[in-house]
Amino acid sequence: MKIDDYELFQKNQETLKELSKDDNTKDINEYMVELENLAVDFDEVKRIYANSYKTTEEMLNSVDAIMNLKNHIFFIEFKNGKISSNTLQNNIKKKIYSSLLIFCDITNKNLNYIRENASFILVYNKDKNENSNSKKKIANYVYQKANENFTLFGLEKYKNLFFKNVYTYSENEFEDFIKKNT
């Protein structure tokens, strides 16, 4: 399945740079990545989807982007802040749940299809999550020996349950991943 096969996805594309924009600080736009690759603006898809059912977009959560890379679907969430609180981790989980429901409804695919053909990527700010980076460096060494990837922030439980794989990448790791796979 290609995401571009769906008109709603095709009409709502943006660059990864724009989708990674953090505009929470007044009058300051900060981009997590500089990538010009196109991806589906899933926040916009969620808005249109919610409105089509005569409800507000606040009823749902969504990941920032979805994209195809080498015949595989990636659900992508950008988090520029510190990821430590249970509240923020729960927010990410809600985004995963809602995004899967919306995606499956639009594409008429089931969860088993997602498990076999999609992965989740959380892109985090390396500087704001330094403790996580230290853990990741140590764990990556061990996991690479086992030919596995280490996942931060408790998101590994979604591997096999909802997604084929789950990745947590710093901004630079994500940029490298995209460049290697396009």
pLDDT, residue 165, reads: 97
Residue 49: in which H helix or E strand, if any?
A: helix 42-52
Nearest to 152 by CA among 126, 172, 175: 126
pLDDT, residue 136, reads: 55
Cβ neighbours of residue 158 closer than 8 Å, sequence gap 6 or more: 96, 120, 166
- pLDDT, greater one: 82 or 43: 43
Residue 162 has phi, psi (to 5 degrees) of -120, -35
pTM over 0.85: yes
Q: Residue 85, SS3? A: coil
Tell me how many degrees the CA angle 26-62-2 measures, rounded to the nearest 5.
120
- Please list the residues that pair with 73 across neighbouring strands: 68, 118
Q: pLDDT tens digits for 113-143? A: 999 999 999 999 988 887 654 555 555 444 4
